[in-house]
Structure 1
Amino acid sequence: MPSLEDHSSSKPREDQEQSIRPEEDSQQGLLFHQVYEWLHHEKTRRQNRKARKAEATSHATNGNESNEEDGVLERPSSNNSNTSESTFSLDKLEKILLQYATNRPRSAMGLPQKQPVKRQSRYRLKGLRRGSASESELTDADGAPPSVEAFLDNTKTLAYTGGATVEENPDSSASVKQAKDAEAWMVFKSEIVRLAHTLQLKGWRRVTAELAGDIEVVRLSGALTNAVYVVGPPKNMPPPKSDSNSLVSRKPPPKLLLRIYGPQVEHLIDRENELQILRRLGKKNIGPRILGIFLNGRFEEYFEARPLTPRELRMPETARQVAKRMRELHDGVELLEEEREGGPMIFKNWDKWVDRCEQVMTWLDKEIQSPQNEAKAALEPWRRRGYVCGVTWDVFRKAVENYRRWLVASSGGTAEIKRQLVFAHNDTQYGNLLRMEPATESPLLLPANEHKQLIVIDFEYSSANTRGLEFANHFTEWCYNYHDEERSWACNNRNYPTSEQQYQFVSTYLTHRPHSTGGPISPLSSPTIHARAPVAVAPLDLDEGSDRPSSQLSQNEQSKESELDAEVRFLMQQTRMWRAMNSAQWVTWGIVQAKVPGMEEGIAEMLAARNGPSENGNGDDTKTPPVDAEIEEDDGDFDYLAYAQDRVMFFWGDLLSLNLIKPEELPAPLLEHVKSRLVAY
C-alpha cells in the first residue's frame, strides 16, 4: 500500500486512487485509524511528561530534589529542544494524516459517504449519517454496537410527562404522588446517563452524573410493543475545557432514541435475530443505527423528523412516496438463503405465537363461560364483548389453519411462495414513517428525491414475506388511529383504500426504478406468472378505461401498459388473498400482549392441573411470563385485547368474501356484527 511519502508526491490523486486495489481500501482505513490513535496518544503522553518536568523543575529550584534528579534536570536545554522538535514533527504528521483522510474517498477510510447536503443547512440529515460510538468518529462504522449486561427499569416512568415539573397542588396526596414521580424520573435519568457512559455513546461522556437531572427524557406515544423515549442533553451544557490539541467535539451530545422492550415481548420477537437484521440494514444506511444495547433495550440514533399522521398516510402524494420507499427496501436488501428457505415470516410468527395464544385464550374462554362473568363484566369491558375471537379459540384456530392451506395452494404452492418472497418491513403504520422537513436548499426538495424525505423506522417485524402481505398490512393500517383518545384500538374499515387507490399505489411501486437500471424491475419475472389460472375472489371493480387513452398510444406502449396493468392486478389479487393471514397474525399479537387481572395466575393453575406438579413441587409454568407486581399500568396503555377482538372481524369478513366459510357456520351475533362492518374494499 502507498506510504505517507507516496501521498505527498506529485502523482495526480485520481491516478493514485485507481492504482489502489479495492481490497486494500479497508486495510488503509484500519492503518489510518491505528496511526491516528497512536498520534493522539503520543501527543497526550508528551504533554503529561512536559507537565511533570515543569513540576520537577519547580521543586529543583527550591533545592528539594536529589542529586540524581538534578542530573536529569541539568539537561533542560537539549531536552526542551528535542521535545519542541518532536512535538513539531507530530503536529506535521497529524496535518499529513488529516490531509490524507480529506483527499481519500470516505469509503476507503472505512467512513460512510457524506450526504449531499449543504453544510450551512440546519437540516443536515444528522439522523441519516452513521457516526461512530467514539468521540472522534474515526472508527469502523460497520462494527457491532457495544453492549452491557444491565437492566433499565422504567416501570415507574411510563407517563408521557417526562418528569416535567407540574404546578403545585394543594392536595397533599397529589403532592406526595408528584414527589414520588419526580424521584422516580430522577433515578431513571441517572441510570440513563450511567448506561450512556458505560456504552461510551458519542459525546455523552461530557454529561456528568451531576448533570443527570438536567437531561431531557420524553416518552413518545404511538409505540405499541415497546416504551420509546427521546433523550436529550441538558440545555445549558458547560463548554468543554479549552485545549487546542483536543479532539472532543464542541457540539452538544446528540439526542438519543431509547427503546425499552415491553414485558410480553419475549413471546413475540427474537431480539438476537432483530439485531442481526438491523446490522444488515445499517450497512446499507437503511433505518436508524444501533448505538448501544442493554438487557431489556437499546439506544438508537435519533432522527430529526416527525411521524406521519393517519390523515397524511391516506394523502395521494404521501401514498406514492411510501410506495417508492417500499420498493427501495424490497429491492435494496437481499434475502439470505435461510430466510427464503424458511418461507414467509407470517407463517413462522403464527407457529411461534400460537401456543402462548392457546394458553391465554383457553383461560379467557373459560372465564366467558363462567357464572361469574356477568358480575365481573361491569369492571372488565372485554367480558361484555364476548369471545375474543368471536367464537371459541378452537374454532378460530381451525379456521386459520384451513385458510392457510387454501392460501398456499392458491399461491402456486410452497416453492412459488418462496420465489416471490422479498425483505419486507411488515409494520408500515403511520407511526413508523417519519418525515424530514429539510431547509429550502436541501437536495431532498428536488422532485426526484422528495420521497426520500420519508424515513422508515422500527424494523422489529422485518423479514421475508410476500409483496401481497406487505401491501395488505400497509393498506389495513390506513384504518387505524392509535392516537384516538377513546378508541385507539379500533379499525375503521371505511378508511381502507379503494380499488383505485390500491391500483395507484401498486402501479407507483412497480414503475419506480430505485437503481436506475434502464428499465422497470418486474417482481414477476417468471414467464408463466400470468398463465396461472386466476383465483376466484371478488372482482376489483376498476374502471378499465379511466386515465388510459389507449387509442393514442403506440402498439409498443399499449403492450407495456397492458403488461403493467396485468402485474398491478396480480399484486392486488395477492393482497386480497394474504389480507386475512395478516389479520390473523395481528389478532394473535394482541392476545399475546393482553393484560387481564388474574390471567397469569389462572394460566399457571391451569397448566399445573394439566401437567401435574414439577420436580420442585410447582406447576410447569415455564411458558408463562412472571407476574411483576411492581408494574404500574399507565391509564393510557393500549388495550391489546380490545384490538384483537376488533381486528378479528376483519378476518371473518375476508373469509366470507373469499367464500372460505359459509354464513351459517358463524354464530348469528358474530355474523351480524361482521356484516355491519363490511364495506366495499
Structure 2
Amino acid sequence: MAVKTNGFVAPEELMKLLLTLSSNWGDKIDTNMLKVAHLSGAMTNDVYRISWPTKMENDNRTVLVRIYGEGVERFFNRDEEIQTFENISKYGQGPRLLGRFPEGRVEEFIHARTLSAGDLRDPEVSALVAAKLREFHNLDMPGPKKVVLWDRMRNWVGEAKSLCSSENTKEFGIDTLEEEICILEKELSRDYQEIAFCHNDLQYGNIMMEEETRSITIIDYEYASYNPVAYDLANHFCEMAANYHTETPHVLNYCVYPGLEERQRFARIYLSSAGNQPSDSEVEQLVDDAEKYTLANHLFWGLWGIISSYVNHIDFDYMEYARQRFQQYWLRKPQLLGTSRASTNDGVNGSM
C-alpha cells in the first residue's frame, strides 16, 4: 500500500500506522487526498509534513513524519533517543510521539513557526531562547548524569577511521584527533562547571515559536545528553554562523558569529531566568567557558560531517562542512587555549 506523493514514497508500514492513527481519531484516509510536504533544513533525517481532510469541513489533520537518515546508528542509539523523546514529552516539552515504523516515526505536528537564521540575532527572540534553554537544562532526565561529550567524540574518531580514505585521513589528521580530544578534555573540564541535560544541536531549525504566545519549543533530541551547559551555549553560538536555507547550506559565515556583548547578554538572561540575578563575574565565567567549548563543538560537528559524507545521501556537502569546522578549530585553538602548538596535519590547517 505504498503511496507516492510529491516524490515521496510512503513505506507500507507508515501507511498502516497512519491508517491506525486516523481511525483512532475518527478520520478516514483517502490516499489520494494525502498532502505531503518535504521540510527542508534537516541534515540527519528526511522530515515531512503529512495532512489529510477530517470529517469537519475545511479542517485538516496534520502529523510530522521523520524518515531516519542512512548511517545514523553510527552517531547515537536510536532506542535511547526514543526514550529521551518520550521522557521530554512527559515533561510537557516538545511534540508527542504518535507511533513508530521500521524506517522512522510519526510525531505530533507543532503548529508554530520554525525559527530562521535571522531570528537568532533578534534580541527579543534570543532572550526567549536563552530562558527556554535554562528550562531545558533543568530537566531531570533518567540515566547517569555524566559528561558524554568526550567518549562520544572518541567513538566517532573510530568510525571516521573505519570509513575515511587515506586522503581524507591525512587531510583531517584523523590519526591525531584522539590526542586533540584528550587535550580539550584536560583543558576545558572544571569542577565548578554545571553539568545538565543538554540539547547539543541548538540550531535555529530545532527551535520553534508560537507567534501569539511567543512560547518557545525546542525539538529534535537525537544528540541530547548530559554535558557541561557551557558546551550547549557554545553550540548555539556556533550555529549562528549557519544558514541551512540557502543555495549553499553547508557554507558557514563566521563573520556573523555573535560578538562579546551579544554572548554576554544571552548568558545573563540564561543565568537569571531561574529568578537569581547573576554577578558580572558569573556571566563572564560562563561566556569564557562557552567560548573555549566552541573548540569541542568544532571537532564534534567536524567528525559528524566526515562520517555523514560517507553514509548519508541527503543533499548536503558534509565534507566541505567538516572542512570548515576543522579550519575553525585550528584557527581558534591557539587563541583560546593560549598555545602555539601547530597542527600535525597539512591539509585543513594548511589551507587557513
Quickly say closer, same or farther: Cα 1:581–1:153, change in 2 above 3 A: farther
The answer for the alignment partner of 1:468 in structure 2 is 230
1:201 & 1:465 partners in 2: Cα distance? 42
Instruction: Give the 5 Å matches for 1:207-226.
Output: 207=29, 211-226=30-45
Report the secondary structure of 1:222's partner residue.
Answer: coil
Residue 510 (structure 1) aligns with: 271
Could you tell me which residue of structure 1 aligns to residue 83 of structure 2? 276
1:339 lines up with 2:144 in the alignment: yes
AA aligned to 1:266 is: E
1:469 maps to a residue whose letter is Y
1:459 partner amino acid: Y
Q: What SS is found at the alignment partner of 2:50? A: strand
Answering whether residue 25 of structure 2 is matched by residue 203 of structure 1, we say yes
Q: Partner amino acid for 1:483?
A: H
> Which residue is equivalent to 1:227?
46
Question: In the alignment, which residue of structure 2 is the partner of 1:492?
Answer: 253
- Partner-residue secondary structure (3-state), 2:154: helix
* Aligned counterpart for 1:401 among listed residues 182, 190, 202: 182
Shift of 1:467: 1.2
Q: Is the 8 A contact 2:240 2:258 kept in 1?
A: yes
Higher RCO (CA-CA < 8 Å; seq separation 6+): 2
Rounded Cα–Cα distance in structure 2 between residues aligned with 1:512 and 1:196: 40
Say yes or no: does 1:356 pair with 2:34: no
User: 1:272 offset after TM fit, Å?
Assistant: 1.1
Q: Which residue number corresponds to residue 600 of structure 1?
A: none
Matched, 1:421 2:227: no
1:658: which partner in 2? 336
Q: Which runs of 5+ in 1 are unaligned?
A: 1-151, 164-180, 240-248, 369-386, 439-443, 445-449, 514-518, 521-559, 596-624, 626-630, 675-681
Change (3 A) 1:585 1:478: same
Larger Cα Rg: Structure 1 or Structure 2? 1
Once the two structures are superposed, the pairs formed by residues 35-74 of structure 1 within 5 Å of their partners are none
Cα distance, 1:664 vs. partner?
Answer: 4.7
Give the secondary structure class of the aligned counterpart of 1:273: helix
Whole-Å separation in 1 of the counterparts to 2:177 and 2:339: 12
Decide whether aligned partners of structure 1 residues 250 and 276 sit closer, same or farther in structure 2, where only a CA change above 3 A counts.
farther
Q: For residues 202 and 306 of structure 1, do their structure 2 counterparts lie closer, same or farther at Cα, with a shift above 3 Å needed?
A: farther
Aligned to 1:403, the other structure's residue is in SS state: helix
Distance in 1 between residues matched to 2:338 and 2:344, nearest whole Å: 12
Once residues 89 and 343 of structure 2 are traced to their aligned partners in structure 1, the CA distance between those partners, rounded to angstroms, is: 49
Distance 1:153 1:282 in 2: 30
Secondary structure, counterpart of 2:236 in structure 1? helix
Shift of 1:671: 5.0
Matched pairs, number: 352
The DSSP-based 3-state class of the residue aligned with 1:219 is strand
Match of 1:430 in 2: 204
Does the aligned pair in 1 maintain the 2:343–2:349 contact within 8 Å?
no
Secondary structure of 2:279's counterpart equals helix
Structure whose residues are more often strand by fraction: 2
- The 2-side partners of 1:204 and 1:218 are apart by 23
Match of 2:262 in 1: 501
**SS state at 1:257 partner:** strand
Are the equivalent residues in 1 in contact too, given 2:326–2:348 (CA < 8 A)? no
Amino acid of the structure 2 residue aligned with 1:188: A
How does 1:604-643 map onto structure 2 within 5 Å? 637-643=315-321
**Displacement after TM superposition at 1:195 (Å):** 2.4
1:355 and 1:671 map into 2 onto residues whose CA distance is 21
Q: Secondary structure of the equivalent of 2:302? A: helix
1 CA distance for matches of 2:350 and 2:69?
Answer: 36
Identity of paired residues, percent?
29
- Deviations 1:198-249, CA, capped at 9 Å, x for gaps: 4566426511xxx102200111000110000000004xx5x4xxxxxxxxx8
CA distance 1:325–1:202, change in 2 (3 Å): farther
SS in structure 1 at match of 2:48: strand
Q: Could you tell me the TM-score, scaled by structure 2's length?
A: 0.90
Letter in 2 for 1:395: T
Tell me which stretches of 4 or more aligned residues in structure 1 moved more than 3 Å: 189-193, 198-202, 249-253, 362-366, 663-674
Secondary structure of the residue that 1:233 maps to in structure 2? strand
Q: Aligned partner of 2:140: which letter?
A: E
How far has the Cα of 1:580 moved from its partner?
Answer: 0.8
The amino acid of 1:212's aligned partner reads: T
Deviates more, 1:394-403 or 1:305-314: 394-403
Task: Show structure 2 runs of 5+ residues with no match.
Answer: none
Q: Which residues in structure 2 correspond to 1:359-378 (within 5 Å)? A: 359-365=162-168
1:309 and 1:201 map into 2 onto residues whose CA distance is: 35
8 Å CA contact retained: 1:587, 1:648 = yes
Q: Please state how far the C-alpha of 1:482 moved relative to its aligned partner.
A: 0.9
Q: Which residue of 1 aligns with 2:220?
A: 458
What displacement does 1:320 show? 0.8
CA deviation after TM superposition for structure 1 residue 665, in Å: 4.6
| Counterpart residue type for residue 227 of structure 2 | N
Contact 1:190 1:213 in 2 (8 A): no
Matched, 1:571 2:249: no
Counterpart of 1:593 in 2: which secondary structure?
Answer: helix
Name the counterpart of 1:292: 99
